[in-house]
C-alpha cells in the first residue's frame, strides 16, 4: 500500500461522508495514481438512491475520481491542504457510465496526467469494478490558494 487512510486525509480536505478514497496502491508523481473506494451499504446516499435497488450515484463516482486526481496533483507539486491549497473540480469531458456501482463493490480509481500547466491539470480517468469499466472521464482540476 502506498497511502493509507491517515495519509490520504493529509492530502484531501474532504471528510466523512464525502471522503471517497480508502487507499492508494500505486502513485507515480506527475504521471498516475491507482486507488480504491470500498462501497458499503452503510453509505448515506443509499438511503435514497435507490432504497430497493441501491446504486452509487454517478456524480459520486466522478467525485471519487476527482479526489484521486487531487491527491496526484498535491503529490506532484509537493503541497498540502494544510498549506492553504485546494484542488477544485472545474470540468469533466467525455464522461461515460458503463455499469452501476453497488454495495459490496470495490471501486478501483485510476487517473493519468494528460497535462498540467499553471495550476490547471487534466487527467484521463477510469473507475472499474473487478476489471469491468464502470465510468471513464477526462477530469480538469485547478489548484488554488485559499485564505
Residues tagged active-site = 49
- Omega before 52 cis (within 30°)? no
Task: Return the sign of the alpha-carbon dihedral for residues 21, 24, 25, 31.
Answer: positive
Rounded Cα distance between 2 and 44, Å, is: 28
**Helices of type H across 17-143:** 58-77
Amino acid at each position: 500500500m502506498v497511502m493509507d487512510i491517515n495519509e490520504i486525509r493529509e492530502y484531501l480536505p474532504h471528510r466523512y461522508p464525502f471522503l471517497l478514497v480508502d487507499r492508494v496502491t500505486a502513485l507515480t508523481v506527475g504521471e498516475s495514481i491507482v486507488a480504491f473506494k470500498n462501497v458499503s451499504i452503510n453509505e448515506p446516499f443509499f438511503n435514497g438512491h435507490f432504497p430497493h435497488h441501491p446504486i452509487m450515484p454517478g456524480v459520486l463516482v466522478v467525485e471519487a475520481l476527482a479526489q484521486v486526481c487531487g491527491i496526484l496533483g498535491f503529490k506532484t507539486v509537493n503541497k498540502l491542504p494544510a498549506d492553504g491549497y485546494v484542488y477544485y473540480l472545474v470540468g469533466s469531458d467525455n464522461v461515460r457510465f458503463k455499469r452501476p456501482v453497488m454495495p459490496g463493490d470495490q471501486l478501483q480509481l485510476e487517473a493519468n496526467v494528460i497535462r498540467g500547466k499553471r495550476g490547471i491539470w487534466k487527467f484521463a480517468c477510469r473507475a472499474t469494478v473487478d476489471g469491468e469499466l464502470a465510468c471513464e472521464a477526462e477530469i480538469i482540476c485547478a489548484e488554488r490558494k485559499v485564505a
